[in-house]
Structure 1
Amino acid sequence: MELLAPAGTMENFMAALESGADAIYLGGKGFNARAHAANFDMQELGEAVRLAHILGVSVYVTVNILIGDTELADLEYYLQELESVGVDAIIVQDLAVAQIARRVAPNLHLHCSTQMTATTLDAVRFYESLGFTRVVLARELSLKEIEHICANCKAEIEVFVHGALCVCYSGQCLMSSFIGGRSGNRGACAQPCRLPYELLNSKGVSLLPKHEAYLLSPKDLNYSEHMAHFVKAGVTSFKVEGRMKKVSYVRQVIGTYREILDKATINDEQQQALATGFNRGFSTGYLDDSVGRHMMTVVAPNHQGKPIGKAYVKKGNVYLELDEPIVLGSLVKILQTNGSITYYTIDQDWFCINPLLYKSKPKEGLASGPMYLASTPKEAKSRGLQEFSRKYNITMYLMIGTDGAKQYTELTAMLDSGLSVTVQHEYIPVLANKVPTSLEKVAEQLGRLGNTLFQLSYVEIPNGEYMWPASVLNALRRDAVEALEVMLIESHVKSWHTLQVYNTNGSYPFAAKTALDYRDLPIVSVVVDEVEGVQTAIAGGAKKIIFGGDRLQRLPYESSVYKTVATLCNDVGVYCTFTTPRVIKDDEVEVYKKTLQYIVNANPTSIAIHVPQALLWLQELGYTGAIEANTGLNIFNTPTVKFWENLGMSSIAPSQELTLQQISALSKHAQAPLEAMVHGYTEMMISEYCVIASFVGTGSKVTCSMPCVKENYFLRDRKGEMFPLRTDSYCRMHIMNSHEMDMRAYVPDLVKKGVSILRIDGRQMDLGRLKHIITEYVCILNGTIQPPSKQVYDEPITRGHYFRGIL
């Protein structure tokens, strides 16, 4: 059972140690998903690991971004450095990192990041088979799902229990990337979910008051009341988000969770302590499957603060009626009924009527409403080890040693645990001529442990009026401390080496049994989610149909649809590929397997997977056909391409964040054909939360009246861009890009750079227009018409990331 703390700086690291963390996760100067945190250079990291290991605390380094081919050499060196300074584990998103780490830094344990979207027991089993010792589950899982996974897997399970939430499934978000070129998968997310949006219906009418604008901004996670349930379920690690937070947040939140875990209870005082730390309000919606409007900040996306009373206006004055006293200099926030927020600094301009009531005519204006404590005056600078409180008690025994007739001085230092060391000094004890060294003087010298992680609790010295020089006592103390530190570090490292690493032989029994031999490449493929779309795509000249998966309609398919689609394709010699959804939750697996059985029975040309655990399901169902790797797998570099090729994938659809130049580099090493989207609306987000259900429906998905089946809805941002909203048969929300991708002008360039299968996403597209677009791509490929001009069209379009890299 582990309390896992965040640390973005050394100051925060020390606060996490002192507050009782069992493990700390942090980022180095590169390759991590908090690129804008201060992070640790290698010297700082080495010292942090040393201090942590002395205290028996583990250190995990985030290497949780997608890695480009040009970074692989630097990555190898970085991983070797991490191993050399004693890092316990790395947190990984990209399978290339895991492969390289096992080769060049085998002592680093592999933890599967939440960016890998592990939502099922079988996802955990898949990562176990790759040698991962721990999996960080997706934050969208319910308590029931977490319990099921913990009870049936071998790997350790880590769960986020506190801190900021992403509205999108982690690892599946392209919104920041496509809007501004700052990718969450590369650690540079600009958090567009925290910006204001309007919700519009199909007529363009705004449906909500202007102050209810933060429709995608979730409240923070707070599972403090459910810790006993997690412990009972078998969760190994309780993770607190916050590498970008202040030291006061780390100290407050980690210290409080330490108390909750140690006492196995939670009280009002602890709840209030958590509310004092940075938060946007708290939510537990995912844990009991009550996803809805109540999980969003709606009115304000920033720090809510601790509720401490109310403000009201009377005779031109603002009165602050407090539930508890506050410190002069504190900043309070008033949330008014019209949605506006007013901040007041409680300074000398406020008249203190009594400790719970203040009065003023503030220059910020008159405001009334609920009041929150936004911040208190800045704390003092961080302390060094001199005042560090989490220290070992140490008992020291000064003794006279003998070696035959020769005497010497020795010191035994023992911890409360019984761990002890004995060190020697050549000094021969002698009786004092005048004043012997007192016990107090010996204790004073041996007790100079301020800059260490030890504190003296008891000293014993030999009987007799001996002289003990300070230099001898100091040397003995230093040697004893150093020896204890070495023993404690070695003990920690040894305990890590006993953790089981699963399959490491590189053989995977769930590899595809059959390879699809694509002929007459390049070809056009079309993603559709209706039978009429299949017929249109075939009529337009598409040679490959991709069907199923995330149907962008709320109602599910009839089971017979797969046989119908396969027959339509087979009758005209068109490749028929059925695809999995990008997200399947643990409680949906058994139902989805029935759908997958219908897919297998339809005998398609191939099945494309967005989730790796689908390999296990297909094996279980006895499927022996071709399998293809889809975009949900976030394939970003050559080693990951090779990994999936080794599992028998018949084609690779790499990450949609790659440039054309990067795709070209992949194609030079790939054996399987590369498939890339060239036309349609890119999915920016997939979310368990639904704006439509929350603000047009009943406010909750559980009792939703499904307004999404009656008309279409859109989000409009502050720049006027319109993002279509779609829902799938699992009641998940998909946010589509505001601009349609159109690469007709670049078809020859795409083919020249190694794209063999040009994918058009025709879901939700007018069928007449879809046929026209497909026909144009086919004709350009065949050379019967010339590609259009590369100049920007009159209608707003996007070229995606083909010519614009990401941060």
Structure 2
Amino acid sequence: MSRNLVKPELLAPAGNMEKGKMALLYGADAIYLGGKLFGLRAFANNFSLEEIAEMAEYAHSLGKKVYVTVNIFAHNEDIDRLPDYLRGLQQAKVDALLISDFGVWSTARQVVPDMPLHVSTQANTTNYAAVQAWEQLGAERVVLARELSLAEISEISEKTSVELETFVHGAMCISYSGRCLLSAYLTGRDGNRGACTQACRWEYNMYKLGEQKRPGEYFDLEEDERGTYVMNSKDLCLIEYLPELMRAGVCSLKIEGRMKSVHYVATVVSVYRKAIDQCWADMEHYSVPEAWITELNKVSHRQYTTGFAVAKPDRNAQVYTSSKYEQTHDFVGIVTGYDAEKKRAYFEQRNNVKAGEPLELLMPDGSTMPFVLTEMLDEAGTSIDCAPHAQQKFSAASDKPLLQFSLLRRKVVKE
């Protein structure tokens, strides 16, 4: 079975209304988000049904889509509450639901039979037979497990006709596509019901190794320069492999990060927008300029890995010395407007920022430019030399018009 190649959709995370709008403005074709119930990101600022409806209306006004996660592994009480929630999502006019649990799937088929359903990555779909089975159950799309190689994805594509989606960027779970019991065991918070504490990122002190049938006999475990972060995976980055993914027939390229910042979402979406467009225009001569990698390094991230795409991950796919993120730039403000007559740009502060320091603007069209704050005024029109207060409103002189929703950032100075 062969597929007609299609330009893949760029699918971005939306942890709240602002992040959703920024993702769409910076180039995403669609966003995925979670409601207050039944999603696997309980600690994100998830959406009420009213907010989901508002987000869907905004996306549709741009000709774009909204998908909602309903991907917990449901218990009896969850199923009892599910029908009303599904009807609410249908009324909100969302474009599809992401589901992993077969009981949730069956309930959705009965309650909202016309709603497009996508199979969540939590369903651990790793072979073409499973994709075929989901297709027979009416799936419009299957989000493949992150544990697949490019060759495996290509074979699945050849033997199926349903839409295929895969992750291309973001955090990797140490457990199989997120099916992890560690958080529930250590804290009582069930990662499979949306309350993961990311216990895999904690530092563990492991000095003795024992075997159950040999009580009292232990082997010393020595901590070396790698430390003890033994389950701390690097972040996925497949920007170099877009031609292979497109040739494999993948229709949607997904960015992880509903709990990440506005800066993360806008920057990563902006880079992958350029990458997808350039790759689709000339797949044979596609290459990744250093400027794109530089941009991806500006946001909070762990070191990057290709995950399972090229080869099975080895010890080099882990970060052993720390669970901390790294980034080259801090997000310090967002452009809220521009007055052409007064030649002033208006900002909302997101980090302490001062007049005169070298800054950079990232704009929704993907361009960047250096910028220095001068003639700063607060909302009352009083001259100031810094904006130290959280989300403080201020303005600054700018001869060049600045696009609304542009991001202001500052290079991190390492001590």
Matched residue, 2:28: 21
Q: Which residue of 2 aligns with 1:258?
A: 273
Q: How does 1:777-792 map to 2 (within 5 A)?
A: none
Q: 1:230 offset after TM fit, Å?
A: 0.6
Amino acid at match of 1:288: V
Letter in 2 for 1:96: G
* SS of structure 2 residue aligned to 1:218: coil
1:292 is matched with 314
Following TM superposition, by how much is the alpha carbon of 1:52 offset from its aligned partner in structure 2, in angstroms? 0.9
Corresponding residue to 1:33 among 24, 37, 40: 40
From the superposition, tell whether residues 292 and 58 of structure 1 become closer, same or farther in structure 2 (CA, over 3 Å). same
**1:269 and 2:276 correspond:** no
* CA–CA separation in structure 1 for the residues paired with 2:269 and 2:49: 25
Q: Which amino acid aligns with 2:73?
A: L
Change (3 A) 1:209 1:388: same
Q: Deviations over 1:399-433 (max 9, x none)?
A: xxxxxxxxxxxxxxxxxxxxxxxxxxxxxxxxxxx
Q: 1:30 to 1:126 in 2, by over 3 A?
A: same
Shift in Å, 1:185:
0.9
Structure-to-structure mapping, 1:699-718, within 5 angstroms: none
1:347: Cα distance to partner?
A: 9.9
Q: Distance in 1 between matches of 2:221 and 2:325?
A: 27
Q: Closer, same or farther in 2 for the Cα pair 1:227/1:329, shift >3 Å?
A: closer
Q: In the alignment, which of 61, 80, 83 is matched to residue 73 of structure 1?
A: 80
Distance apart, 1:211 and its partner CA: 5.3
Gaps of 5+ in 2: 1-7, 211-217, 280-285, 334-350, 359-388, 394-401, 407-415
**Which whole-Å CA distance do the structure 1 matches of 2:272 and 2:179 have between them?**
30
Q: Report the AA paired with residue 175 of structure 1.
A: L
Instruction: Report SS of the residue matched to 2:81.
Output: helix
Partner SS, residue 207 of structure 1: coil
1:54 deviates by 2.0
SS at the partner of 2:32? strand
Q: Whole-Å Cα distance in 2 between the matches of residues 65 and 130 of structure 1?
A: 19
Measured after TM superposition, the shift of residue 346 of structure 1 is 11
Give the Cα–Cα distance (whole angstroms) in 1 for the partners of residues 74 and 191 of structure 2: 13
Q: Which amino acid aligns with 1:93?
A: S
Tell me which residue corresponds to 1:305: 327
Q: Is the 8 A contact 2:225 2:321 kept in 1?
A: no
1:748 aligns with none
Q: Does 1:239 align with 2:246?
A: no
Please state if 1:99 is matched with 2:118.
Answer: no
Q: Distance in 1 between matches of 2:103 and 2:300?
A: 35
Q: In the aligned structure 1, how far is the partner of 2:95 from the partner of 2:104?
A: 15
Distance in 2 (alpha carbons) for counterparts of 1:282 and 1:144: 21
Q: CA deviation at 1:302?
A: 2.0
- Contact kept? 1:46, 1:86, Cα under 8 Å: yes
Tell me if structure 2 keeps the 8 A contact 1:328–1:346: no
Residues 238-282 of structure 1 show CA distances to partners (whole Å, capped at 9, x for unaligned) of 000000011111100001100101111421111111111121110
Which letter maps to 2:244?
Answer: H
SS in 2 for 1:91: strand
- State the alpha-carbon separation in 2 of the partners of residues 108 and 101 from structure 1: 8
- Encode CA deviations 1:52-87: one digit per residue, 9 max, x unaligned: 112221110000102222232321001011111111
Partner Cα distance (1:152, 1:234) in 2: 11
Q: 1:108 to 1:328 in 2, by over 3 A?
A: closer
Q: Within 5 A, what are the aligned runs for 1:472-483? A: none
One-letter code aligned to 1:240: I
Find the counterpart in structure 1 of residue 338 from structure 2: none
Q: How far is 1:191 from its partner? A: 1.2
Residue 169 of structure 1 and its aligned partner are, at CA, apart by: 0.1
Look up the SS of the partner of 2:176 in the other structure: coil
1:276 touches 1:305 (CA, 8 Å); kept in 2?
Answer: yes
**Change in CA separation of 1:271 and 1:327 when aligned onto 2, cut-off 3 Å:** closer
How far, CA to CA, are the matches of 1:59 and 1:327 in structure 2?
29
3-state SS of 1:170 partner: helix
* 8 Å Cα contact 2:263/2:331 also seen in 1: no
Counterpart mapping for 1:185-584 below 5 A: 185-197=192-204, 198=206, 200-202=208-210, 203-209=218-224, 212-264=227-279, 265=286, 266-306=288-328
Name the CA distance, whole Å, in 1 between partners of 2:187 and 2:290. 43
Task: State the SS of the aligned residue for 2:37.
Answer: coil
Question: Does 2:126 match 1:126?
Answer: no
CA distance in 2, matches of 1:80, 1:387: 38
Once the 2 structures are TM-superposed, how far is the Cα of residue 111 of structure 1 from its aligned partner?
0.8
**Matched residue of 1:75: which SS?**
helix
Query: Hey, what does 2:215 align to over in structure 1?
Result: none
After TM superposition, give the deviation of residue 204 of structure 1 in Å.
Answer: 2.7
Q: Is the 8 A contact 2:22 2:405 kept in 1?
A: no
Percentage of pairs with the same residue? 40
Q: CA deviation at 1:183?
A: 1.1
Cα distance in structure 2, aligned partners of 1:267 and 1:380: 36
* Equivalenced residues, count: 327
Q: CA deviation at 1:199?
A: 6.8
Q: Extract unaligned runs of 5+ from structure 1.
A: 307-325, 331-344, 353-376, 391-807
- Paired AA for residue 289 in structure 1: A
2: CA distance, partners of 1:253 / 1:237: 15
1:280 partner amino acid: R
Structure 1 residue matching 2:232: 3-state secondary structure? strand
The Cα offsets for residues 158-179 of structure 1, whole Å up to 9 and x where unpaired, read as 1010000001102532111122
Shift of 1:150: 1.4
Instruction: Kindly provide the amino acid, as one letter, of the partner of residue 293 in structure 1.
Output: R
Q: Which residue of 2 aligns with 1:594?
A: none
C-alpha separation in 1, matches of 2:175 and 2:266: 29
Paired AA for residue 300 in structure 2: F
Preserved CA contact (<8 Å) 2:147 2:177: no
Mapped to 2, the partners of 1:241 and 1:102 lie a distance apart of 27
Maintained 8 Å contact 2:234/2:304: yes
Name the SS for the 1:76 alignment partner: helix
Amino acid at match of 2:254: K
For the aligned residue pairs, the C-alpha RMSD in angstroms reads: 2.9
Tell me the distance in 2 between the aligned counterparts of 1:59 and 1:107.
16
* 1:135 aligned partner: 142
Contact 2:10 2:254 in 1 (8 A): yes
Correspondence for 1:158: 165
Question: Which portions of structure 1, spanning 4 or more consecutive aligned residues, are displaced by more than 6 angstroms?
Answer: 326-330, 345-348, 377-381
Secondary structure of the 1:297 match is coil
SS at match of 1:279: coil
Mapped contact 1:281–1:305 kept (Cα < 8 A): no
Q: Which structure has more RCO (C-alpha within 8 Å, separation ≥ 6)? A: 2
Larger radius of gyration: 1
What's the offset of the Cα at 1:328?
Answer: 12
Residue 144 in 1 paired to residue 154 in 2? no
